[in-house]
Structure 1
Amino acid sequence: MERLPSWIRQHVAAIRAVIVMTLVLGAVYPLVVTGVAQAVFTNKANGSLVEKDGKVVGSSIIGQNFFDKDGNPDKTLFQSRPSAAGDGYDMLSTAASNLGPEDVLDVLPDPDGADDAAKEGKQSLLTQVCARSKAIGELEGVSGARPFCAPDGVGAVLKVFPALGTVTRAVSVNQACPAQPFVAEYQGVKVECGKPGEDYAAGRTVPIRGNVTDVKVPADAVTASGSGLDPHISVAYAELQAPRVAKARNVSLDEVKKLITANTTGRALGFMGEPAVNVLELNLALGKE
Structure 2
Amino acid sequence: MSQTRQISKAIRSTLVLWLLTAFIYPFFMIFSGQILLPYQANGSLMTKNNTVLGSALIGQPFTQEKYFWSRPSVVDYSTNTDIEKTGTSGASNLAPSNPDLQKRIQKETARLKQFGVTATADLVYTSASGLDPHISMAAAEAQIQRVAKSRNLDPNQIKILVQQSIDNRFLGIFGEPGVNVLKLNLALDS
- Relative to the length of structure 2, the TM-score reads 0.85
Displacement of 1:88 in angstroms is 2.1
Higher strand share: 1
**Which residues of structure 1 form unaligned runs of 5+?**
67-72, 107-122, 143-215
**Which residues of structure 2 form unaligned runs of 5+?**
80-85
Match of 2:83 in 1: none
Match of 1:137 in 2: 113
Match of 2:19 in 1: 23
Secondary structure at the aligned position of 1:88 is classed as helix
Displacement of 1:32 in angstroms is 0.7
State yes or no: 1:257 paired with 2:159.
yes
Secondary structure at the aligned position of 1:92 is classed as coil
Letter of the structure 2 residue corresponding to residue 132 of structure 1: E
Match of 1:204 in 2: none
Question: Is this contact kept in 2: 1:62–1:89, CA < 8 A?
Answer: no
Change in CA separation of 1:277 and 1:20 when aligned onto 2, cut-off 3 Å: same
Q: How many residues align?
A: 183
State yes or no: 1:274 paired with 2:176.
yes
Q: Which of 44, 62, 65 is the aligned partner of 1:75?
A: 65
Letter of the structure 1 residue corresponding to residue 77 of structure 2: G
Question: Is this contact kept in 2: 1:80–1:279, CA < 8 A?
Answer: yes
Displacement of 1:223 in angstroms is 0.8
Match of 1:92 in 2: 87
CA distance in 2, matches of 1:46, 1:275: 24
CA distance in 2, matches of 1:41, 1:258: 29
CA distance in 2, matches of 1:247, 1:19: 65
Would you identify which runs of 4 or more consecutive aligned residues in structure 1 move more than 6 Å? none
Displacement of 1:31 in angstroms is 0.5
Q: Which of 51, 55, 68 is the aligned partner of 1:55?
A: 51
Displacement of 1:79 in angstroms is 0.9
The CA RMSD measured in Å over matched residues stands at 2.2
**Structure 1 residues 26-45: Cα deviation after superposition (integer angstroms, max 9, x where no partner):** 11010111111111111111
Question: Is this contact kept in 2: 1:63–1:89, CA < 8 A?
Answer: no
Displacement of 1:250 in angstroms is 1.9
Letter of the structure 1 residue corresponding to residue 37 of structure 2: F
Displacement of 1:224 in angstroms is 1.2
CA distance in 2, matches of 1:228, 1:23: 37
State yes or no: 1:38 paired with 2:14.
no
**Structure 1 residues 218-277: Cα deviation after superposition (integer angstroms, max 9, x where no partner):** 000011112222111011111222122112222221211111111112334445443311
Letter of the structure 2 residue corresponding to residue 93 of structure 1: T
CA distance in 2, matches of 1:87, 1:260: 24
Displacement of 1:74 in angstroms is 1.0
- Relative to the length of structure 1, the TM-score reads 0.58
Change in CA separation of 1:95 and 1:262 when aligned onto 2, cut-off 3 Å: same
Question: Is this contact kept in 1: 2:65–2:150, CA < 8 A?
Answer: yes
Mapping 1:1-289, distance limit 5 Å: 6=3, 9-66=5-62, 73-84=63-74, 86-89=75-78, 92-101=87-96, 104-106=97-99, 123=100, 125-138=101-114, 140-142=115-117, 216-288=118-190
Displacement of 1:11 in angstroms is 4.5
Higher helix share: 2
User: Quick check: which has more Rg, 1 or 2?
Assistant: 1
CA distance in 2, matches of 1:223, 1:269: 26
Match of 1:192 in 2: none
Secondary structure at the aligned position of 2:70 is classed as coil
CA distance in 2, matches of 1:28, 1:269: 30
Question: Is this contact kept in 1: 2:59–2:77, CA < 8 A?
Answer: no
